Amino acid sequence: MSRKIERLINLTIALLATKRYLTKSEIFRTVEGYEGSAETKERMFERDKDDLRSLGISIDVGSFDPLFNDEAGYRIKSEIYQLNLGEITPTEISLLSLAADAWQGAAFADATQSAILKLSSIGVPADPIDIPGLSPKLSNSSKDLETITGAIGTSDFLIFDYLSTNLLTEERTIVPIALSNKAGLWYVSGVDHDVQEVRTFRLDRVIGSITVKKNKDAFEFPSEFELDQIDSTSTTSSAIIDVRKGKGHALRALATSLKDLGEWDQIRVPILSIEYLTAQILWHGEDVFVHEPSELRENIVEQLQALLINHE
Amino acid sequence: MSKNVSAPLLRTARLLDLVPYLNTHQGIALKELANHFEVTPTQLSADLMTLWMCGLPGYTPLELMDLEFESGYVTIRNASTLSKPRTITFQEGVALLLGLDLVASSLPEDRLDLFATVESLKERLAKLLDVPVKLSVVAATSGAVSTTISEAVQSHTGLQIRYHSLYKDQVSDRSVMPVDLYESDNHQYMRAYCFTANDYREFRIDRIETAAPSPVPADFVVQKIDAEKITFSITGKQPSRDVAERFAISDMPTGEEIHLSSYSRQWIERSVMASGGAVVLNSPVDIRVEVAKKAQLMLKRYKEA
Distance separating alpha carbons of residues B28 and B34, to the nearest angstrom: 10
The pLDDT value given to residue B248: 82
Contact B129, B90 (CB under 8 A): yes
pLDDT tens for each residue of chain A, 312 residues long = 678 999 999 999 999 988 888 888 889 988 888 988 989 999 999 999 999 988 888 898 887 665 666 678 899 998 889 988 888 899 999 999 989 888 887 778 888 888 998 998 888 888 877 776 677 777 655 678 888 888 888 889 999 999 888 788 899 999 998 888 776 678 888 899 888 888 889 888 888 889 999 988 877 777 666 665 554 444 568 899 999 988 888 888 888 888 888 899 999 988 878 888 999 899 999 999 999 898 999 999 999 999 999 998
Contact A189, A198 (CB under 8 A): yes
C-beta atoms surrounding A237 within 10 Å: 12
The pLDDT value given to residue B140: 57
Q: How many CB pairs under 8 A join A and B?
A: 363
> In this model, does residue B54 exceed pLDDT 80?
yes
Q: Which of B85, B103, B131 sits opposite A122 (nearest CB)?
A: B85
Backbone angles phi, psi at B96, to 5 degrees: -65, -40
Q: How far is B40 from chain A (nearest CA, A)?
A: 17
Please report residues of B whose CB lies closer than 8 A to that of A306.
237, 276-277
Predicted ipTM of the assembly:
0.76
> In this model, does residue B226 exceed pLDDT 70?
no
Contact A29, A14 (CB under 8 A): no
Between chains, do B89 and A57 touch, taking CB under 8 Å as contact?
A: no
> In this model, does residue B30 exceed pLDDT 50?
yes
Q: How far is A106 from chain B (nearest CA, A)?
A: 11
Distance separating alpha carbons of residues B238 and B255, to the nearest angstrom: 8
The pLDDT value given to residue B91: 84
Q: Which of B134, B149, B240 sits opposite A166 (nearest CB)?
A: B240
Task: Write out the DSSP string of A191-260.
Answer: EETTTTEEEEEEGGGEEEEEEEE---S-----TT--GGGGSGGG-S-EEEEEEETT--HHHHTT-SEEEE
The pLDDT value given to residue A104: 80
Alpha carbon B241 to chain centroid distance? 25
Number of residues that this document lists for chain B: 305
Between chains, do B276 and A279 touch, taking CB under 8 Å as contact?
A: yes
The pLDDT value given to residue B1: 42
In sequence order, the β-bridge partners of residue B69 are B74
The pLDDT value given to residue A265: 93
The pLDDT value given to residue B217: 65
Distance separating alpha carbons of residues B76 and B5, to the nearest angstrom: 27
Between chains, do B92 and A30 touch, taking CB under 8 Å as contact?
A: no
Range B76-103 average pLDDT: 86
The pLDDT value given to residue B104: 85
Q: Is the pTM of this model over 0.80?
A: no
Please report residues of A whose CB lies closer than 8 A to that of B24.
121-123
Each residue's pLDDT tens digit, B266-296: 889 999 999 999 999 998 999 999 999 999 9
> In this model, does residue B2 exceed pLDDT 50?
no
